[in-house]
Structure 1
């Protein structure tokens, strides 16, 4: 049996999109251990093909050479192969220091000596699932769809702890790490919440708590308790459990969008500055709203996708012009 170490990406959405690659590797007999940062590790624990998850104590930024060397010494001799999924120099350093014989990844910043098998970065932006799956060396990647599996007891425990019932609420994930040009306006989320015939559970990080309160406050002022703001109050495993048991999920293009897709829940995904051609929610029950692809929307959004953090033109029409009623209609068809 081949013992394989996976160096995971640092973002939740990217982690979800690596699942088809891991499924391919496990199917051909590789025993998979994933090395991941703590905030991504729970995603890999929701992948049955992963035998073990090692949480790396690394912070954002910096090479942190001593810490990587220390962990590499502990891992030395345990693995035959490593797949380095991020494109950075520091991510390739640990497998090199651990003397793992085969080290596979894309050409990145100064990694020629660190990797033994290097793929050229594609000239055009591939869908991210295909980008990661190509590292397997196999073909026929078009049908790959990420899948996550939550333990039923874990889901029920999260519901019980938070006083929720399966299928009795809708999840809103209004954040987006990259910036406001990916976030549907808070006032639109509030309007949508008021129209729904279910409790609304708002999920996100602690940094998004104020945004979620901005959405919840005007709705709760009219319908007390309609919105439950749990941003920063749940662990990631709890958030995954709440999405898995939700009636549906509405989000921007974000990590939790990809979680909802991989869990197969009905969802509406709202795109602004980014493109669903590159990072779509791969879910038959997903409905994508992207004005760039709407021929009836006038004048056309020639500026989209700009992939900017903030709208370079100052109007953010790509999001402002998607009304709550349109999202509600899409939700009913998901």
Structure 2
């Protein structure tokens, strides 16, 4: 951090999803650029604290002691009371729910900024209207809350950048038995939202085999829930199924070693973009204009069918052509192999 005395203390109530938390870094960067080096603390789910530690703009990540979707009124009150001593000047509440606004109110933060949401007048006293035509992208909505006054045009978006820990990177390589003697292609075949956002696993498997034939190695990333996807892809030597074997910050460090990352529209897509990998992002039911990877090194593959984007978890027409019609050869072409 700079030696300059901070002019403000800002508390951000962070989002609950991996991709949104990465995109929130654009807000933190904007606050640092616009506000004269404020101290920025972030209240967030416990899983995200190691990720926040990789964002140089964040002074401290503060765990929110409730489960996803839980009101936890007493826990939020206790946290808010504990934060009073920090004397924050402003709170920025990214989620639009009633419960998300409780901690800043209990903390008696004088300026509490957020969009109009679930009957939270009073809890939020700097209420912003949300014009979805002006602020279409999620990241634009986050960044706009860090600006003063009405926002009539989409703001500039700083690209997230997660710090890489080279020491942890080496530990991960040794622990997982990985080598860097061949170019590495990352694959992220999961998408927690649902199958309408997941490129067919069989296509990932075919692409992985073709990449190995071209002298590459493939690392498949995902959670414990996605281990079966990794198993279906890792059928030949040179393909490593790392699903469920890494922490989120381990993925940050390992992705920094990868030549390309082939991914669905998912939280790990945003992690890969912020880790510096070249992204090939495959979109199905979602809209690449709404949640694009925030990097100049991205190639977006999107069919733009008449039925797209539907934003459904499963294809309402039963064919999922938005994904099934994207063949592995197309990805290979983008890699110029």
Do they superpose with TM above 0.5?
A: yes
Instruction: Give RMSD over aligned pairs.
Output: 1.7
Partner of 2:227: 209
Q: Which moves more between the two structures, 77-86 or 10-19?
A: 77-86
Q: Contact conserved, 2:65 with 2:76, CA < 8 A, in 1?
A: no
What secondary structure does 1:136 align onto? coil
Task: Give deviations 1:31-50, integer Å, cap 9, x for gaps.
Answer: 01111102222221111111
Q: CA deviation at 1:123?
A: 3.4
The corresponding residue for 2:216 is: 198
Matched, 1:132 2:150: no
Aligned residues: 319
Which aligned runs of 4 or more in structure 1 are off by greater than 3 angstroms? 165-168
**In structure 2, what is the equivalent of residue 20 of structure 1?**
26
State the 1:77 CA deviation.
Answer: 2.6
Could you tell me how far apart the structure 1 residues matched to 2:65 and 2:169 are?
Answer: 27
Q: Which digits, 9 at most, give the CA deviation of each residue in 1:198-221, with x for residues without a partner?
A: 2211111111111221222xx32x
Question: Aligned partners of 1:83 and 1:156: how far apart in 2?
Answer: 37
How far did residue 57 of structure 1 move? 2.4
1:253: how far off? 0.3
What does residue 94 of structure 1 align with? 103
On the 8 A contact 1:130/1:144 being kept in 2, the answer is no
- In the other structure, the counterpart of 1:321 is 325
TM-score (norm 2): 0.90
Show the counterpart of 2:192. Answer: 177
1:9 maps to: 15
Q: Which runs of 5+ in 2 are unaligned?
A: 1-6
Distance in 2, matches of 1:103 and 1:62, equals 22
Secondary structure of the residue aligned to 1:39 is helix
Partner of 2:253: 241
Quote the offset at 1:143 in angstroms.
4.3
CA shift, 1:302, in A, is: 0.7
Asked whether the 8 Å contact 1:267–1:331 carries over to 2, the reply is no
Unaligned runs of 5+ in 1: 293-300
| Offset, 1:322 | 0.4
* Separation of aligned partners in 2, 1:214 and 1:6: 40
Mapped to 2, the partners of 1:36 and 1:62 lie a distance apart of: 14
Q: Is the 8 A contact 1:175 1:254 kept in 2?
A: yes
Q: Do residues 305 (structure 1) and 319 (structure 2) align? A: no
Q: 1:55 aligns with which of 53, 63, 81?
A: 63
State the TM-score, normalizing by the size of structure 1.
0.91
Question: For 1:158 and 1:119, how far apart are their aligned partners in 2?
Answer: 44
